[in-house]
Amino acid sequence: MTDPLDLCGLRLAHPVINGSGTFDAIAARRAFGDALLERFPFSAFVSKTITPEPRAGNPPPRLWETPAGMINSIGLPNKGLQGFLEQDLPQLGRLPVPLIVSVMATSAEGFARLVGKVAARPPVAAIELNVSCPNVHSGLIVGEEPRETASLLEALRPLTDKPLIVKLTPNVAEPAGVAVAAEEGGANAVSLINTLKASAIDPGTLRPWLGAGRGGLSGPAVRAVALEQVRSVAAAVAVPVIGMGGITSGSEALEFLAAGASVVAVGTESFRDPGAGERVRSELAEELAARRISSLAEVVGASAAADQRGRNEVQTGASSGPSEG
């Protein structure tokens, strides 16, 4: 495997983490006992998003299977800040990897309360700001607006020295614009993609299948979209990019690294196969070894570098390819 890597100050043993909300470490610990801790599948653990107050989540049905994917409309059920700090954090703090806590609020004040309280807890290594949940109607359109994103970051940045990671939405024309705003506001990393807004119609009743009317699409169906967004964001920012969207194998993880991600996350595939994180990690290690790559720096952004070389060659007329006649 490659050397350990540094993700904005977090030391990771390898480049595969989980997508928020797709792996319940507390339930997995109950199911697998200490074996889970001895061989934890991810190099960092990202919690399910929490909000300031408890939430029940959306009415059922909450899931719909699509070709090569699924739509979820979970609606952010969680115990709220106090419940998380008292009940979940002590258990998550015992995981053998850095803990990243995902938070979301419907106001800047709510975000500030979450960041202030969560970041103050020693087991928390970093905070992911979820400004991209497709299933919660908030008055706040932070993640869709570069200016709103920058001003949220400016309000939160002074509250902690711990890394702030911004989870970007794919549901905008230019995710790179929002990523640059997050970076300018002081974000230490960005992660993408969250789910794509999606609908399902019950073929019997011809009414929306999902209780909340719509949801977010994930899984292999979104992978090509995610790759392009990772590529455009990585080309636009200097902070590390955590890339995800339909990764099911080591070679697909490698594609995200080549597109410019420093770290990749496995999400929906963990629902199908709880061992997916470990499998993707070992397949990626084999892919890298087969290519004699020992440092991830050799591969991260390789496709962007090739892209830029191609453009330079076209500009200087250095291309040796066939010329138009």
Please identify every residue annotated as catalytic. Answer: 133
From the list 7, 10, 14, 21, which residue makes contact with ligand RRO (rule: CB under 6 A)? 21
Our finding on whether 75 is near ligand RRO (CB under 6 A) is yes
Nearest distance from C-beta of residue 301 to ligand RRO, angstroms = 26
260: left (phi over 0), alpha (psi -120 to 50) or beta: left
Our finding on whether 268 is near ligand RRO (CB under 6 A) is no
Q: Which residue has tokens 């801790």?
A: 37
Our finding on whether 270 is near ligand RRO (CB under 6 A) is no
From the list 15, 98, 143, 216, which residue makes contact with ligand RRO (rule: CB under 6 A)? 216
Whether 283 contacts 273, CB under 8 Å:
no
Q: How far is CA 257 from the centre of its chain?
A: 14
The window from 72-80, 147-155, 290-298, 305-313 that contacts ligand RRO (CB under 6 A) reads 72-80
From the list 22, 47, 72, 270, which residue makes contact with ligand RRO (rule: CB under 6 A)? 72
Which CB atom, from 52 or from 216, has the smaller least distance to ligand RRO? 216
Nearest distance from C-beta of residue 107 to ligand RRO, angstroms = 16
Residues 116-135 that bind ligand RRO (CB under 6 A): 130, 132-135
Nearest distance from C-beta of residue 187 to ligand RRO, angstroms = 17
Our finding on whether 245 is near ligand RRO (CB under 6 A) is no
Our finding on whether 49 is near ligand RRO (CB under 6 A) is yes
Whether 98 contacts 11, CB under 8 Å:
yes
Q: Tell me how far apart the alpha carbons of residues 143 and 205 are, in angstroms, rounded to a whole number.
A: 34
Our finding on whether 18 is near ligand RRO (CB under 6 A) is no
For 177-236, the three-class secondary structure string (H helix, E strand, C coil) is HHHHHHHHHCCCEEEECCCEEECCECCCCCCECCCCCCEEEECHHHHHHHHHHHHHHHHH
Q: Which residue has tokens 């970076």?
A: 183
Of 210, 192, 212, nearest to 201 by C-alpha is 210
Indicate the DSSP class of residue 262. Answer: S
Q: Applying CB under 6 A, which residues contact ligand RRO?
A: 21, 49, 72, 74-76, 130, 132-135, 194-195, 216
